[in-house]
Structure 1
């Protein structure tokens, strides 16, 4: 599918409140046929979704330690996770320390997931993922570990106000760029 046709289809699924604010852009290299063009998402004429751009306000993690030490990252801990740590330590650890251990475990898992998602994204082809989005259901796109699928689903008109508001817990565990588009969509409601 040509870029113009794909762009037209993606824009037809944009939420009405974001129409005109969110744009899909592409650059191509006319004289380098083996070099793929870059595709990115702009919000209010500012490139937001472009990993290689150093001027972007979205944080792209380089190491697992950066994720673990990020003070803005909020990790909700469930009662089941606390109970699992309590069972592993056989009840010998104070209650405050259980929360620290559970958070440490969860943030370690999250760091690995975020880095692998970022790595997959940097190697992926925007056009291929966008075509996949057009053939998947919204639920599959939202639940996917693919950052780009999450973004495309969040700004889709088929995702309603109630569903967006109910996603706040899940979004905290996603990449900062997904959180950015969630906040953008939430601000238009």
Structure 2
């Protein structure tokens, strides 16, 4: 599908509150047709997500430790998580320490997921991901670990205000780029 047709389809799915504010741009390079070039998602004429540039104001993590120490990421610990730690240690660990151990285990898993999603984003071809978004159900795009699929789904008009407001807890554990677009959509539902 040509870029202009793809862009037109993506923009037709934008939430009415964000229509005209969000713009998809992907310049092609005439002398290197095998390269997809760069891709930008702009909000109010500012490049917010540039998939080849880590100098945007959205935080890009370099290490697992940065994710673990980020105060914006709050990881909820369930009783099942605590119970799995208790069983692994045969019940010899004090209760307050179990919570800390469970949170550390969950933060390590989350850090690995975020770093792999971030690495996949920088290597991805926007056209391929956008075509996938257009052909998959919106629920699948929202639940995906792909940052770009999450963003495209969050700004989609098929995701209603009630669903957006109900996703608050899930969004705390997503990449800052996804959180940015969530807050943008939540503010303009």
TM-score (structure 2 length as normaliser): 0.94
In structure 2, stretches of 5+ residues that fail to align are: none
1:122-175 per-residue CA deviation (whole Å, 9 max, x = no partner) reads 111000100010001101111111111111000000000111111112212211
1:88-126 per-residue CA deviation (whole Å, 9 max, x = no partner) reads 223322222111101100011111111111111111100
Distance in 2 (CA, whole Å) between partners of 1:53 and 1:119 is: 12
Q: In structure 2, what is the equivalent of residue 47 of structure 1?
A: 47
Distance in 1 (CA, whole Å) between partners of 2:98 and 2:41 is: 41
Q: In structure 1, what is the equivalent of residue 172 of structure 2?
A: 172
| Cα distance, 1:32 vs structure 2 | 2.5
In structure 1, stretches of 5+ residues that fail to align are: none
- Tell me, what secondary structure is at the counterpart of 1:120? helix
Distance in 2 (CA, whole Å) between partners of 1:94 and 1:51 is: 45
Asked if the contact 1:77/1:102 (under 8 Å) is kept, the reply is yes
| Cα distance, 1:54 vs structure 2 | 4.3
Q: In structure 1, what is the equivalent of residue 94 of structure 2?
A: 94
Distance in 2 (CA, whole Å) between partners of 1:76 and 1:42 is: 32
Distance in 1 (CA, whole Å) between partners of 2:52 and 2:156 is: 25
| Cα distance, 1:74 vs structure 2 | 1.2
Number of aligned residue pairs: 189
CA RMSD of aligned residues (A): 1.4
Distance in 1 (CA, whole Å) between partners of 2:16 and 2:144 is: 24
TM-score (structure 1 length as normaliser): 0.94
- Tell me, what secondary structure is at the counterpart of 2:41? strand
Deviates more, 1:170-179 or 1:24-33: 24-33
Q: In structure 1, what is the equivalent of residue 134 of structure 2?
A: 134
- Tell me, what secondary structure is at the counterpart of 1:59? coil
